[in-house]
Amino acid sequence: MNIPAIGVGTFRLKGQTVIDSVTQALELGYRAIDTAQIYGNEADIGQAIKASGLSPDALFITSKVWVDSMAPGKLQASLRESADKLGVDRLDLALIHWPAPNGPVRLEDSVEALADAQAQGLTRLIGVSNFNIADTTRALSVVGPAGLATNQIELSPYVQSPRLVRFLQSQNVHVTSYMTLAYGQVMQDAVLQGIAARRGATVAQVALAWAMQQGFSVIPSSTRAANLQSNLAASELALDDADMAAIVRLNRQARLATPPDIASAWDD
């Protein structure tokens, strides 16, 4: 099973807002949905999925285990609860949301519990999120070289994390990019605006295409049908080598998501 190149993200969306967003996304043709336990919207997403009439087997649903459920036993139970809220028999992909290096549970124990959840049939694939090179290495030591489906990381034209990306690719760990649009900051970028004008595209499409053209998956969110449709069309946009090189030069490792206590030190 491959992770879809593009899915709809649901971070910061709750209640009717997330129901409407996911409903619109599914109507437009999205088939991958990304959520997390800490988002507090799994039940709302489950409602949208049920109302869509689509079989869960036609979808690719990802959720992430929050740091207070990383202990063996508790982790597996939390994924059963996530699946129940989402109205599915099992998840397609379950991730450890943050490594929480200062937490009470050893990372290896959490990864082992995640692998056990997979063995129990609670999720088809397992992976991690926000893991640096050292964290990923420790996780791989538990599940083996083919054990992690992805590492979901903040990745945008402004946060390209080349060392981490090269390492993940060398280990055949798929890269999933979140915050690819840098909370909308890319929209004001002159370089991206220039590429968009030359390509007859939107700036958002350029940023998303830049990520997908490198083989990364993207999970942009929106509450507007027009933006959801435009983002989905980014997979059809082709950037040339000069475009890609110009975007590479925008990297400044300006992270927007590094919460204290649950994040490890980054490699770049």
pLDDT digits (tens, 9 = 90+) for 237-256: 999 999 999 999 999 999 99
Q: What is the reported pLDDT for 1?
A: 72
Residue 224 binned pLDDT confidence (cut-offs 50, 70, 90)? very high
**Domain annotation covers residue 192:** no
**Domain annotation covers residue 264:** no
Strand intervals (E) in the chain: 8-9, 32-34, 60-65, 91-96, 123-129, 150-154, 174-178, 217-218
Q: What is the reported pLDDT for 267?
A: 94
Query: Of these residues, 39, 158, 178, 183, which one is catalytic?
Result: 39
**Domain annotation covers residue 151:** yes
Tokens in use for 242?
């000069």
Decide if pLDDT at 28 tops 90: yes
Q: Quick check: is 30 catalytic? A: no
**Domain annotation covers residue 204:** no
**Domain annotation covers residue 22:** yes
Contact 113, 135 (CB under 8 A): no
Find the largest Cα–Cα distance for the chain.
54
pLDDT digits (tens, 9 = 90+) for 97-121: 999 999 999 999 999 999 999 999 9
Contact 256, 154 (CB under 8 A): yes
pLDDT digits (tens, 9 = 90+) for 60-92: 999 999 999 999 999 999 999 999 999 999 999
Mean per-residue pLDDT over the chain, rounded: 97
Number of domains in the chain: 1
Is 97 assigned to a binding site? yes
Residues of the domain holding 101:
8-182+214-221
Residues sharing a CB contact under 8 Å with residue 201, sequence separation 6 or more, in sequence order: 195, 209, 234, 237
CATH of the domain at 57: 3.20.20.100
Q: What is the reported pLDDT for 268?
A: 80
**Domain annotation covers residue 208:** no
**Domain annotation covers residue 126:** yes
**Domain annotation covers residue 76:** yes
